[in-house]
Structure 1
């Protein structure tokens, strides 16, 4: 096997291994599972931390679509429509056994995979969506009245509501609807229908 192919095989098997066993899983066990020597892994990865970094790139960064940020800020379409499209695509790309379980294990073991990924969500989705909703409601922009944690939590609540379906399915092992599209549409619709008066109050208090 070529070196590049061997390295890729190690990364792909590490994804499956860590999803099953968490990050306390030992690279020695990973090597045994692959039928290679322990030292063979370290010919390609200088440390376990470096291997975890490659897993992060393979599982998370490769599935993040660069045009999602542009979608959220496209004012030619209603925000509800934009959010619905984003979450339909998001569910399609990240509702995956390996993705979700590695995400959960990372948070429990204090690896920074979870925090780094959520920073991307915050910067490219949550905060821009706050600005877009203000524009739609004709409220002062963030440049005039800064977005508070309380305001951002409105959108984190929507994000968490949708992502919790993945936690139920892949971490808790409970039954979830097979077709999540109508669930996503309902969640975004309910959010948009009820968020306006709450956001008005938040921004008004911040402006006072």
Structure 2
């Protein structure tokens, strides 16, 4: 709530005022957990109650719920994409298998967690633009480069398509989905499952481990 004398914010318990940057980060982090739990239809009044602040305080930092969801999108999706992945995926001084294995090992470590998976699922079910933007961004910086690199090495009899890339990518992402969405046990060694998927993918296109 707002301090009537200073105009600064306090939580409902009268605890210390947080600096604006820290308060904003607190709101976004709790919003990630909140929407992962209840879905994107969750309302800001419920979120404010969980935070122990007034709804008006939320709107001091985010004018609309859509603005808050945009901050959630940046935190959950964009902030987890490393800026150097495209360059590393197209570095032909390194074998394609090594490049793919390094990328998917790092990527899976970032997305194989409860909040990411559930927000992604809820966004997809709601037809939210957040998912579409993320998938377009992923296609541009990751999937299209992988397609080009595969095409450069594939045998003449097996030319890759974007559908092939999605099959590889989706199969790896499914490891996290079955754990965090379906509640099934995670593989004991996810890295081995990822490596196996990559090896099958490369073998199909006649690409060796050293290419």
- The two structures have a TM-score, normalised by structure 2, of 0.85
Alignment match, 1:106? 123
1: CA distance, partners of 2:138 / 2:131: 11
Q: Note closer, same or farther for the CA distance 1:99–1:164 as it changes in structure 2 (3 Å cut).
A: same
DSSP-derived class of the 1:98 partner: helix
Segment drifting more, 126-135 vs 29-38? 126-135
Alignment match, 1:167? 177
Higher helix share: 1
2: CA distance, partners of 1:58 / 1:45: 15
Gaps of 5+ in 1: 140-146, 198-208
CA offsets 1:44-95 (integer angstroms, 9 cap, x no match): 1000000000001111111100111011111111212111111011111111
Alignment match, 1:65? 82
DSSP-derived class of the 1:118 partner: helix
Alignment match, 2:151? 134
Match of 2:52 among 35, 42, 64: 35
- CA drift at 1:166: 0.9
Alignment match, 2:10? none
CA offsets 1:140-169 (integer angstroms, 9 cap, x no match): xxxxxxx9xx81100110000000111111
Gaps of 5+ in 2: 1-17
2: CA distance, partners of 1:133 / 1:34: 47
1: CA distance, partners of 2:62 / 2:123: 19
Match of 1:192 among 202, 205, 211: 202
DSSP-derived class of the 1:66 partner: coil
The RMSD of aligned alpha carbons is 1.6
Equivalent pairs counted in the alignment come to 188
Alignment match, 1:23? 40
- The two structures have a TM-score, normalised by structure 1, of 0.86
Alignment match, 1:118? 135
